[in-house]
Amino acid sequence: MQTWTREQWEQSKKDSPLSVFYLYTPMCGTCAVASKMMEVIAVMKPELPIGKADLNYIEDLAVDYEIESVPCLLIQKEGYVREKIYAFQSIPHLLEKMGLT
């Protein structure tokens, strides 16, 4: 999982039929758990473009995408954000939301 800028996220929306952007803050305990889940998914699905970013450094994205809290997972399909996930229930749940099960 690579750290992305907003520009890299926008480019992934153009280049990939499916990509995800994981947003977190470093002092968030729930984000630490979600980060581990995302790392597992990155290993399981190496072909899936997955980016991550500390939301403190891309506040304009939070405003534009109306991010309500962290952790947040943006799932884009065919260039449009189809899902915003805040409750990272389980790895199978996340894979299902991404359409990868």
Amino acid at site 39: E
Position 101 scores a pLDDT of 80
- pTM of this structure: 0.95
32-69 pLDDT per residue, tens: 999 999 999 999 999 999 999 999 999 999 999 999 99
Mean pLDDT of 68-83: 96
Question: How many domains in the chain?
Answer: 1
Neighbours of 31 (CB within 10 A): 23
The phi-psi region of residue 67 (left if phi > 0; otherwise alpha if psi is between -120 and 50; otherwise beta) is beta
Pairing of strands 50-54, 2-3: parallel
| pLDDT (average), residues 13-19 | 96
Separation between Cα atoms, residue 17 and residue 27, nearest integer Å: 32
- Domain hosting 36: range is 2-98
Q: What is the CATH number of the domain that holds 44?
A: 3.40.30.10
